[in-house]
């Protein structure tokens, strides 16, 4: 494709991806409203927070795309924290910083670990992931384990899906867009990993 065609391809993708990823987390912007916000317009009666979630998620995706186009390197904590910093750019006290309080995941039976364990758990997770050549199965398991740890006070789902796409695109595949309409299937796949440590359902959803 020409450079212009590539830009249009990712512009169309990031609009739907931003809508779906944010909607899964409770953002009420419609797909059409998301497209308008990403073009610089504002939506009447929709909170500023939801506008910022859209533009910040778009910026985070293009940051990830830049990493894919750059010199290949292994996933590290600095990259994860930078992606999260862009996703939560409007909250300087929380962006790129591991949480320092307990949290609950609404609708899930899993209780994320004590915040004091997060630096160790994240270090171990990244060491595990980088210990072998990345595969789609390994990426899916990394995503499930990342969401279990829930390292940040907010933005874990959006950040986790962006990290997964970073690694998926590094393998040469197209980025994944988990649809808002498939959120139950997505949550069920994460819950299944929590209960059985089986990742096939999540991997199949990614594929």
* Residue 164 to residue 156: CA distance in whole angstroms: 12
* Residue 37 to residue 122: CA distance in whole angstroms: 34
From the list 207, 167, 146, 189, the residue with the least C-alpha distance to 68 is: 167
Give the DSSP per-residue string, 42-63: --TTS-HHHHHHHHHHHHHHHH
Which of 51, 57, 84, 150 is the catalytic position? 150
Query: What confidence tens digit (pLDDT) does each residue in 5-26 have?
Result: 888 888 999 999 999 999 999 9
User: What pLDDT was estimated at residue 7?
Assistant: 85
Q: Which CATH number fits domain 3-206: 3.90.180.10, 1.10.10.60, 1.10.3290.10, 1.10.3720.10?
A: 1.10.3290.10
* Residue 24 to residue 167: CA distance in whole angstroms: 21
150 is catalytic: yes
Q: Where are the domains of the chain?
A: 3-206
* Residue 79 to residue 28: CA distance in whole angstroms: 28
Enter the pTM of the model: 0.95
């Amino acid at each position: 494709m020409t450079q212009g065609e590539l830009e249009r391809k990712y512009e169309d993708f990031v609009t739907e991806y931003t809508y779906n990823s944010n909607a899964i987390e409770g953002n009420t912007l419609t797909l059409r409203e998301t497209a308008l916000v990403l073009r610089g317009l504002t939506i009447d009666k929709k909170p500023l927070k939801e506008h910022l979630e859209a533009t910040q998620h778009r910026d985070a995706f293009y940051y990830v795309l830049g990493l894919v186009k750059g010199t290949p390197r292994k996933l590290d904590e600095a990259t994860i924290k930078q992606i999260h910093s862009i996703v939560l750019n409007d909250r300087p006290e929380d962006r790129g910083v591991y949480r320092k309080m307990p949290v609950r995941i609404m609708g899930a039976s899993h209780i994320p670990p004590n915040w004091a364990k997060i630096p160790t758990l994240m270090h171990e997770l990244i060491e595990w992931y980088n210990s072998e050549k990345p595969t789609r199965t390994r990426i899916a398991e990394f995503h499930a384990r990342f969401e279990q740890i829930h390292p940040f006070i907010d933005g874990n789902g959006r950040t986790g899906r962006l990290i997964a796409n970073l690694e998926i695109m590094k393998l040469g595949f197209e980025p994944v867009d988990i649809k808002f309409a498939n959120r139950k299937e997505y949550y069920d796949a994460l819950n299944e990993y929590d209960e059985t440590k089986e990742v096939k359902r999540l991997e199949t959803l990614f594929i």
